[in-house]
Chain A
Amino acid sequence: MAPALNIVAVTSCTTGIAQTYMAADVLERCARTKGYAIKVETQGALGIINPITPIDLRCADVVILTDDMAIDDVARFAGMTVVTVTIDDILSAPHEIIDRLTGSQK
C-alpha cells in the first residue's frame, strides 16, 4: 500500500489568469484519488490564495513548485524535498507528478 503523504504545492503561471488555478484543482484531485493529503497555494492575478502556513510546512513530506514564474518566498521551503515542475507538466500529466513524489520520498 502506498504510504500516506502530506504534500504542499505552490502554483503560478506567467499571466496568472487561468492555468495557476487549473493546476491547483488538478493537483488536488489527483492527490486525493491516491489518498494523499495536499494543500495548494495559488499565486496568480487574484493574489495569494490558500497560503501555506508554518504548520502546513512542518507537516509536509514533499513540496511541488512550478517554475514558470518566480514563486514568492521560496526560502520557506529550504531544506525540504522539493519537486520542481512546469505548469504544463501538471496540466498534461498530473498523475505522473504525484507518482514521482513517492520515489523522491526517502
Chain B
Amino acid sequence: MNRFAQINACIDQLLTTRVSHKVWFASHTDNYPENAFLVKFSRIIYVLEGEYLTAIGHMGEYKKIVLQAGEVIFIPAQTWDLPDWYSDCRALTILFGHYQIGMSLTESSAEGKISVVKATINEALQQEGFYLEKVLNDLALSQRQSPVSGCVAEALLRYCREKTVDKEELPQSVTHYKWRAITLYLQKNFGAGITRETVALEYGISANHLSRLFREEGGMGFNEYLTLVRIDRVKMLLSQYQMTISEIASRTGFKDSSYMGRVFRRHTGMTLGEYRASYGR
C-alpha cells in the first residue's frame, strides 16, 4: 500500500466510526518545557486508536492530558506541545506549512517504539481549508469550549482527505507560484504601508493584473486578503499583548485606529474592546 493509501484508510475509518470529536487547544504559556515541540506553523493531531499522552499549555498553565480515540488537539503556530510516545497509540498529525500540507501517521507502543508514515500534499491550505484553519486558530485564542470545534476539526480533516485523492504531484502553474509568492510577501510586510500599487510595482506587474491574479488563484481580492492578514494580527495582539489600540494600528499597517476599529467590527462583529475583553489573557 502506498503512503497516501495507508493514511487515507486511517482517515476514512476515523470519519466513518466517530461522530463527534472533542477538541483540545494548546495555548501560549510564558514558560514551557525545554524539549517541547514549537514550530512556525500550526498542527492538528487526530487520535485514531489507543491513548495519546501529551502536555500542552492550557489556560496559561502546563497541563498533562490523555486523549482517547476520536479526540483532537490543535496547536497554533508558535505554540508548544510535548507528546510522550510511551503508550499504545495511533495518531495522525497534520502540519500546515506555507507551501505544503504534511501528514505524519504515528504508531507508538508502551515501550516507546514508533513507526511512521509520512506524506506531503504540495499545496498550502486554500479557500475553505484556509478558513477552517483560521476558525481553529480563533477558537484556540479564545480558550473556550465551542460546540462547533468538533465539526470544524472534522471538516478540516475532510478537506485534507479530498486533497490526497489524486495526488500524483500535479504541476502547478506559473501564475499559481506567483500568487503564493505574493501572499507570503503580504504576510511578511503587512505592517508597512503597502498597497495594491506598491506590491504590483515590487513584482513588476500592473495593479489590475495583480487583482486578477488574486481573484483567479485565491478566490478573493487583493485588499480582502491583505485585510484578513492584518485583522489576524490585530486579533493576536489584542488577545496576547497589553498594547494600546493606536500601537496595534501602527504595527498592523492600518492608517489610523478608528479606521482599524471600523474594519475590525465589520469582519468580526465585535469592537476591539469587546474582543479584548472576551479573548484577552
- Chain A interface residues toward B at CB < 8 A: 14-19, 21-22, 25, 44-47, 49, 91
CB within 8 Å of A: which B122-147 residues:
122
Cβ–Cβ contact A15 & B39, under 8 A: no
Which residue in chain A gives the minimum CB-CB distance to B122?
A: A47
Question: A15 and B40: CB pair below 8 A?
Answer: no
A47 in complex: contacting residue of B35, B40, B100, B106, CB < 8 Å: B100
* Among B113-121, B202-210, B224-232, B239-247, the stretch in contact with A: B113-121
Nearest CB of A to B109, in Å: 14
Pick the contact of B35 from A16, A17, A91 — CB < 8 Å?
A91
Given contacts A44-B102, A45-B102, A45-B103, 9 further A-B pairs with CB under 8 A are A14-B114, A16-B102, A17-B37, A18-B37, A19-B37, A21-B39, A22-B39, A44-B104, A46-B120
Q: Is B50 an interface residue (CB 8 A)?
A: no
Q: Is the C-beta of B90 less than 8 angstroms from some C-beta in chain A? A: no
User: Which residue on chain A has the smallest CB distance to residue B106?
Assistant: A15
Whether B93 pairs with A17 at a CB distance below 8 angstroms is yes
**Does A17 lie within 8 Å of B104, measured CB to CB?**
yes
Do B104 and A45 have beta carbons less than 8 Å apart?
yes
**Residue pair B122, A17 in contact (C-beta under 8 Å):** no
Cα distance, A25 to B41, chains bound together (Å) = 13
Chain B residues with CB under 8 A of A45: 93, 95, 102-104, 118-120
Closest residue of A by beta carbon distance from B38: A22
Contact among B40, B43, B101, B120 for A17, CB-based, below 8 A: B43
Closest to B103 in A: A45
- The answer to whether A15 and B104 touch across the interface, beta carbons within 8 angstroms, is yes
B97: Cβ under 8 A from any A Cβ: yes
Contacts of B101 in A (CB 8 A): 46
Count chain B CB atoms within 10 A of each CB in A19, A21, A47 and give the residue with the most.
A47
